[in-house]
Every structure is written in structure tokens, then in C-alpha cells.
Structure 1
Amino acid sequence: MTRAASLRTATTPGEALAVVALCFGWPILLSVQAVMAGFPVRQGGFDDLGALSIVIYEIAFALVAVTLLRSRGYDVASLRPRPTWVDSGLGLVLALAAGMAGMLAMAAFSAGQPEQPIADMMRRSTIGAPMVLLMAVVNGTFEEVFLLGFLMRGLKERGLSIALGTMMLVRVSYHLYQGPLGACYVFGVGLVFGLFYARTGRLWPAVLAHMMWDIVPFLR
């Protein structure tokens, strides 16, 4: 048996927890703190320095997580998104479908809701276009590689409900800082991404769709 054939893509609960803690632990903690503090205005908006810190954080912890997984016999090469023209086209369609799902999820709970923290953050944002693009590329790749490519795929042997539910719990938990409606939007988008990936096993369309929805809010 070759080394490539002996590598695995399934994960254990302990390994999954370790990778989630590495990649998403700090964002989850900050989101929970924002909720407990009542979404303070001092969250501020997005700026170049803040976006750069996100990029550095995600690249650094991605390298740590990949190193850990490789040392444990995980097939890290299988986590790499593989762009094709077909999958790029699917990504555009997926972005539209996910955006619609997110909007519907928000609409279901929007009655009587005050202005959401994410709206205030966007209004205060001063980030430049080059940094928006860089953050979208890194963030979209980082999140979908570890949420879909690692976590959801790794837990699929335990059943779709476990794999999808765990992925959704992690995804929504580190977006809580956006407010209730922002979390609903992320839930809708994440659900479409997860169901698409469960059905097709294609990672690049979700990565591309995520990149697009990281860019669109800054188009003004």
C-alpha cells in the first residue's frame, strides 16, 4: 500500500475539536463576548489593519492546523480547492442560491428587529478595495476548507445530520457578533453550502461563492 493510499479524510471528535479550536476558537470567543456585552458600538467597522490581522490570523492558524493533521496521517492535499471552469460556474449559481436562502432566513425573523450590529459595522468601514479582495480570497478559502473540506467531510461517516449540524454550529457561532439577523443570514448561506457539498463533494464552488459574498457588501 502506498503512502497516499494510507492517508485518511475521516476525523475523530477529538481531532475535530482541536482543529475547530485552533481555527475558530478565538473568533467564537469574540462573538460570544459581543453578544454578552450587548453588541457594543465600539466593535467599529472594517479597516485595512483589521482586515490584514484577519488574513494573518487565518494563514497562520491554517498552517498550524495543516501541520497537525499531516502529522496524524491526514490527507491534507485533499483539502486544496481545485478550480475549474465548470465549478466556477457552479460557484456563481451557488452564490445566488445561498444569498437568497440567507435573505429568506433573515426575513423570517426581521419583524420588530432594531438595526443590526453588522449594518453599523459596514457603515463605519473604511477598508480599501485591495484589502477587501485579499480578505475575501483568504477568508473564503480558510472557512470553507476547514468547515466543509475538513469538518463536514471528516464527520460524514457519523451521518449527515451530525456532519452538517456540527459544521453549522461552528459557522454560526463565530458570526454571532453580526447580530440575530446576521446570524440568520449566515445560517441560510451555510445550510445551502453544506447541502451542496454533501451532495456533490465539490469544494471550489463553495469557496468561490463565499469569496463573492465577502466582497458584495463592500460594493458601494
Structure 2
Amino acid sequence: MEQTRVSGSKLSLVDALIVSTICFGLFIVASTQAMLAGYPDAEFSDASNVYGILIEVILAVCALLYLHFRHFDIRSLYPRPQWMGALEGVGIYAVAVVLGGLVTETFEGNDSSIPVVAFSFQGVSLASTVAFAMVNGIFEEVFLLGVLLRGLKGQGMWFAVGFSMLVRLLYHTYQGPVGVLSVLAFGLVLTVFYLRTGRLWPVVFAHILGDIVPVFFGEG
């Protein structure tokens, strides 16, 4: 029997699982291994940034080829950079940081024995950080929101949101319980904005800031 093809911006659950596996399966496995190892500290370098860029570009190409074969509207996934959208992204990032801080501070205050993952960015250059942030921000939000969330709306809005957020959570478990809460808060803010506007560039820009700012002004 011929397999039913998706059209436009719709995805079947099988398609969503395949795209999730292509894009995030490797990272979910790595995060699970880190969780089982007791949440070791996360160390970043120029080499790890370059490796991350190469891996995400390869995975993105594979996923886009699959979506093209399934007749998904790939052209709609292109984030259209605009200055106003960048300003909105700054606002989204600020709201996400505040919400994440409130959530994690409350959680940490209840139990000091909860493992906290330390992040090390010693010696990481600005060039590799910005390059990785741009690729990673586009990669994650395009596939989490532009593909999975939008594509699964036909299965029900809450299901689409839950699926996208679950995938986001699974490949960030290496950050520990507190880090995961921060990621979920961040992802929720981006998701709400995307649901209300349908625009990718502001959330992509917010994510880019989320990858750059902590390196030079945060934990690193």
C-alpha cells in the first residue's frame, strides 16, 4: 500500500517521530548518557562549537530532504530577518530569562541537594560562539516550532505543544533538573510567541541571544 504523503505544513505522528529522531535523536542519547553518569559538568570549546555546527548542518539537510520527499512546505521555514523582529527577540529573551530565573530559584530553594550542572566556556572565542549560536538557534526553533509544533496542530494544539516541549526537554536533560526547568520556561515563552504570531525570526533571535549571553555574561 502506498504511504500517505503529508502536504503543506501538516505532519503525521510517524513523520514527527522520524523528523525528531533525525534532528534530535543523537542529542537525546548523549543527554541520557550524561544523566545516567550523574550530570557531569558541561565544557564548551571552539572545537565543540565547530563540531556542533557541522553535526546540525548535516542533520538539518537530512531532515529537510525527508520533509521535501513528504511534500512539507519547506519554504515557509526560512526565518526572515528584520530589525523589528530582532527587537522582539530581545524582549522574548528578557521575558524568558526572568521566568526561568523565577522557576529555578524557587526549585533550588526547596532542596539544596539537587544536582546543578556547571558550564565552562573558558577560552571560547566570540567568533565560534556567535557562529554556533546562529546555527543552533535556527536549527532548534525551525524544527521544534516551524516543523513539529506547526506540523502537529492537526493532532490537536495541546498535543502539538506537548510533543515539541517534550523533545526540547529530552535533549537538554544533560543540564540537570534545574537546567531542564530553565529550558522548559525558555521554550514555553518562545512557543507562546510563535503560536500567537506564526513568525520564526523573533524566536530564533531570542534563542541566539540565549546561546551567546551566558557565555560572556553568565555562568561562563
RMSD: 1.5
Matched, 1:20 2:17: no
Q: Tell me by how many angstroms 1:139 deviates.
A: 0.3
**Which residue of the partner structure matches residue 162 of structure 2?**
165
Deviation larger for 136-145 or 89-98: 89-98
Query: Which residues of 2 match residues 126-165 of structure 1 at below 5 A?
Result: 126-165=123-162
Query: 2:112, 2:74 → 1: CA distance?
Result: 43
Q: Tell me by how many angstroms 1:104 deviates.
A: 1.6
Helix, strand or coil at the partner of 1:52: helix
- Compute the TM-score of the two structures, normalised by the length of structure 2: 0.91
**Which residue of the partner structure matches residue 66 of structure 1?**
64
Q: Tell me by how many angstroms 1:39 deviates.
A: 1.5
**Which residue of the partner structure matches residue 3 of structure 1?**
none
Tell me if structure 2 keeps the 8 A contact 1:9–1:75.
Answer: yes
Q: Tell me by how many angstroms 1:187 deviates.
A: 0.6
Q: Tell me by how many angstroms 1:96 deviates.
A: 0.7
Q: Tell me by how many angstroms 1:173 deviates.
A: 1.0
Tell me if structure 2 keeps the 8 A contact 1:156–1:163.
Answer: yes
Report the residue type matching 2:112 in the other structure.
Q
- Compute the TM-score of the two structures, normalised by the length of structure 1: 0.91
Report the residue type matching 1:211 in the other structure.
I
| Paired-residue identity, % | 40
Helix, strand or coil at the partner of 1:208: helix
Tell me if structure 1 keeps the 8 A contact 2:56–2:136.
Answer: yes
From 203, 207, 212, give the equivalent of 2:209: 212
Tell me if structure 1 keeps the 8 A contact 2:7–2:70.
Answer: no
Query: 2:171, 2:64 → 1: CA distance?
Result: 21
Report the residue type matching 1:78 in the other structure.
S
Gaps of 5+ in 2: 1-5
Matched, 1:108 2:112: no
Matched, 1:183 2:180: yes
Q: Tell me by how many angstroms 1:194 deviates.
A: 0.7
Tell me if structure 2 keeps the 8 A contact 1:45–1:126.
Answer: no
Tell me if structure 2 keeps the 8 A contact 1:48–1:128.
Answer: yes
Aligned residues: 210
Query: 2:172, 2:65 → 1: CA distance?
Result: 26
Q: Which runs of 4+ in 1 moved over 6 A?
A: none
Tell me if structure 2 keeps the 8 A contact 1:105–1:187.
Answer: no
